[in-house]
Amino acid sequence: MSNAQAPAPTSRREQILREAARLFAERGFHGVGVDEIGAAVGISGPGLYRHFAGKDAMLAELLVGISERLLAGGRMRVAEGGESPEAVLRALIDGHIDFALDDRPLITLHDRELDRLRETDRKRVRQLQRQYVELWVEVVREVYPVCVEAEARSAVHAVFGLLNSTPHLSARAGLPPRAATESLLKRLALGAFAAAADRDQLPVK
């Protein structure tokens, strides 16, 4: 008999959040009603209020939640370390690529709907994001000591922009399978950091 554990079942709350993220990303926050979110998970619209106070609460949990998970995952990878700072940087990149490929609706939501959060939630998201960036900056500077702090921070933001472009990608555009896409994104991210540290590289004319 196998000792492998079955994946934990998805809770109703998680189902609601997943469908809300998908619908908000597809049609915009104001283009989706509570009844439609309820229908997507097989419950009545009013039944959602047993789980959330309303759409605003769903949006806040989605955006604050993903920021918390990214930071926690990044800290875990740094704490686990590796055989070298380069290995830690690769682990951080791998984790962010998983997010960029698996949670595309949340990237779209952040870009479009962050300003809809109440001020306290928006500040919390920004605080978590700053901590996540600084986590990367420290690792990048370990790998590339030639990079001053400002350069490393700019490079981290640029790499995030590259990886977070996945919502704009489409299978119809001829994307390779997931494994190939992961490999491509990783090469691009590593190449971007190496380029930031290359003092001899000439600017593009």
The answer to whether the CB of 141 falls within 8 A of the CB of 97 is: no
Distances (CA, A) of 24 to 29, 31, 112, 139, 171: 5, 7, 10, 34, 21
Q: For the whole prediction, is pTM greater than 0.95?
A: no
Residue located via tokens 């370990």:
142
For the chain (205 residues), the mean pLDDT of every run of 10, in chain order, is 44 91 93 91 84 93 97 96 91 97 94 94 97 98 95 97 87 70 95 86 46
CA distance 52 to 147: 45
| R_g of the chain, CA atoms, integer Å | 19
Sign of CA dihedral 30, 102, 122, 19: positive
